[in-house]
Structure 1
Amino acid sequence: MREVFDEAGVRGFVHAVDLDGGAETGLDPDSPVVLASVFKIPIVLEYARQAAMGELERTERLTVTAADKDGGIGTSGCADDVSLTLRDLAHFMMTMSDNAATDVLLRRVGLERVNGTLSELGLWQTRLIGGCAELFKSVAEELVGPEAAEKGGIELEEALAAALATATPERIRALAVRDPARTTAGTPRELTTLLGLIWRDEAGPAEACAEVRKIMGNQIWPHRMSSGFPDEVKVSGKTGTLWGVRNEVGVVEYPDKSRYAVAVFLHGDDLGFRIPAADAAIGKAARLAVDHLRG
């Protein structure tokens, strides 16, 4: 795995575990790592738990407005307000990593509830500091100033884009969102532990765990973890991307019913968002880890 990461020019953190046999392998699996959009897994779990316990209705509708949008994927890039059910917000959040859908759903289920569930499950090193808007506001505040933190929606995105266009690589590398001590973070082992609890119906009601598994199985991105496995192997995952940060965690399920939770987190100095070698390294490392566990 070190050779794979060295070739891609990144540092890698990995943990993989056989969800039924318990065998495990990894590389610095207990090191703190930046989650980026991987933090959406605890959010979808909290939504599903509350739905299964009757605290909210899956068909309740909320509206994504201009104040929630960042011009990105899914509802984030829609020109008009979008009204969706909670289950569809969860679907957009997980399958295509829709940031606006994430923030609207997080407001509904509550940040404290999400972090409370993580504590309840014994995941003491995994914590969310807020939603997508909070992460980007922290970047704008560092690059532009305190006044940038007062902006929202597309206005915030435009201010952030202008600041990033002139910021030096050194300044971007020093951002809090790249430092697990100052942002939403966890460890590879805790993320595979969370996935194991979900896949064994131990993270909440069985109905909730099944809903999370189904949603994660519909992720549309095939270029990271899935790239390391043939079509007959099912990969249910969630990616995460920031400047110099590329992640994916997921569960790999073989036709023989064996299943493995895998977490791969990369940290590097290349700040681009199109780095095929790093994306491929996630799939290669995941495959190496799973092949080792399969003997």
Structure 2
Amino acid sequence: MLAPVRSAPFWNLLPPEVKTVALTLALLGLSVTVGACRKPEPGTARAPVVLERRTVPETPEVTQIPPRRRADGCLEGAPAVAKAPPPPHHLSGRLGLWVAQVDPVTLTPVRAVGTNPDSVFPLASTYKQAVLWALLREFDAGRVSPTERFDVTHQNQSLGGYPYDGTNVRDLSLRMIRYSDNTATDILHRRVGLERVQAVADDLGLCHTRLILPTRDWWVAQVGLSQTFNSTTRWAAARGKDRLNLAALIDKDAQAYRSDYLQRKLDTYFEQRHKLDDDLRVHNLSTPYELGTLIAYEFLKPGLSPRARKWQHEVMSSGYGRSALRAQHAGNVVNFGGKGGNGWRLLTYSGYFQTKDGRHVVYAFMQHGADQTYTLPLTRRAFAWINEGVDAVLGPQKPTKSRKPKH
């Protein structure tokens, strides 16, 4: 989940109990790293609703027109919606947000707000939910068994913590989402197939969404260790078979290096020559709107069997975000699934939840180029903005008063 650099704590190297403490502190607004986080600026009043593209009523109601595809099969950009309220606390860098109540049948937005919904951002570990969805498709097709076991090798070990030898597919999927385990992710990504993970986006016409590379691959490419990546100018625009062929060669390059060697190279890269444009060249990518669309289908129309849906719910509900939602503290969340990701100057959070009265909400937050190199302490600020977006879509989510214990 974190960018693996020596100057910042390594999220995936931390034991689960330390991660829990770190997230709790982050939500309380406390810094848990060495290095200065900017102090929150005074909260700003919510601005009047302004437009992204056309005049709409003050309520962010959206005309329910099914998503349309262009002649090339790509989904058109986000519908015209009201601009999201401003972040209540300072968030630096380039920002994107999409919060929408979606119709559970058509999956079109009923009410939505957005900021830069069609801008492309690195996904970091948020992409791992697509690996789970692709895995469950393979499970339903009878090509993957949840009891299949894997060992950790020099070829498949990624950065950070990693599972014990002999861990089965079911437990790897839980590690991938709950602990954002990179090695578990890469094992499953390769087992499913690079092209089948990418197909999660391609089947929906999400042409700005790239999901094809396992975690180690993008880091190897970023530091210049992939001869394939270094020798081509086609990668950014590659699609279909061309992208798959290049990705397979990059993946082969990546498996040639030990993870400790890659770690040292990354330390030097991030400390001395990191460029934001490099993130966009190598990372898996999406836009807030396209990721929100993917999440809507992932949770409401995944095309999975009841057994696979149960597996999906159990794993995705362990992802981070439920406790950070005001709607949860208002007692208004009955189903939830979420995933976050962070790295060197980038942070992402996404999720789905269903309310007590049957409304379905998706959200996607993206930040790239933050002033802070280690972004996990920005979690509280990120969710403060997500919650503002949820309030704009659903109405204010007011926490219920805690009852005094009976004597």
Q: What residue identity is the alignment partner of 2:156?
A: D
Report the equivalent of 2:260. 154
Give the conservation status (yes or no) of the 8 Å contact 2:146–2:169.
yes
Quote the offset at 1:267 in angstroms: 1.5
The residue identity in structure 2 corresponding to 1:51 is F
Q: Of 69, 72, 75, which aligns to 2:157?
A: 69
Q: Which has the higher strand share?
A: 1
Q: Is the 8 A contact 1:194 1:203 kept in 2?
A: no
Match of 1:78 in 2: none
- Matched residue, 1:238: 339
Query: Does the aligned pair in 2 maintain the 1:34–1:185 contact within 8 Å?
Result: yes
Shift of the 2–9 alpha-carbon distance from structure 1 to 2, 3 Å rule, reads farther
Cα 1:259/1:74, change in 2 over 3 Å: farther
Work out whether residues 74 and 96 of structure 1, in 8 Å CA contact, stay in contact via their aligned partners in 2. Answer: no
**Is 1:56–2:144 an aligned residue pair?**
yes
Q: 2:186 aligns with which of 79, 103, 106?
A: 103
Count of aligned pairs between the two proteins:
277
Q: CA deviation at 1:131?
A: 0.5
The yes-or-no answer on 1:17 pairing with 2:100 is: yes
Gaps of 5+ in 2: 1-83, 104-108, 231-252, 396-407
- Which of these residues, 246, 251, 256, is aligned with residue 357 of structure 2? 256
Distance 2:198 2:313 in 1: 20
Q: Which moved more, 1:203-212 or 1:87-96?
A: 203-212
Larger helix percent = 1
Deviation string 1:125-171 (CA, Å, 9 cap, x unpaired) is: 211241111111122227xx97x965232221133224434x1xxx3
Q: Which position in structure 2 is the counterpart of 1:123?
A: 206
| 1:1-295 equivalences in 2 (<5 Å) | 3-4=86-87, 7-20=90-103, 22-75=110-163, 82-141=165-224, 150-165=256-271, 167=272, 171-174=273-276, 176-177=278-279, 179=280, 182-200=282-300, 202-207=301-306, 208-219=308-319, 221=320, 226-229=323-326, 230-231=328-329, 232=331, 233=333, 235-274=336-375, 276=377, 278-295=378-395
Pairwise CA distance, 1:25 = 1.4
Q: Kindly tell me: are residues 104 and 151 of structure 1, through their superposed partners in 2, closer, same or farther at Cα, counting changes over 3 Å?
A: same
Deviates more, 1:150-159 or 1:90-99: 150-159
**Equivalent pair of 1:16/1:289 in contact (CA under 8 Å):** yes
**Greater radius of gyration (CA):** 2
Structure 1 residues 251 and 141: CA distance shift in structure 2, 3 A: same
Over the matched positions of the two proteins, sequence identity in percent amounts to 26
Question: What's the offset of the Cα at 1:31?
Answer: 1.1
Distance 1:194 1:275 in 2: 24
Instruction: Name the CA shift for 1:140/1:285 in 2 (closer, same or farther; >3 Å).
Output: same
One-letter code of the match for 2:117? P
Structure 2 SS opposite 1:87 = helix
Q: 1:218 to 1:52 in 2, by over 3 A?
A: same
The verdict on how the C-alpha distance between 1:152 and 1:28 changes in structure 2, with shifts beyond 3 A counting, is same
Following superposition, the deviation at residue 18 of structure 1 comes to 1.0
Shift of 1:197: 1.0
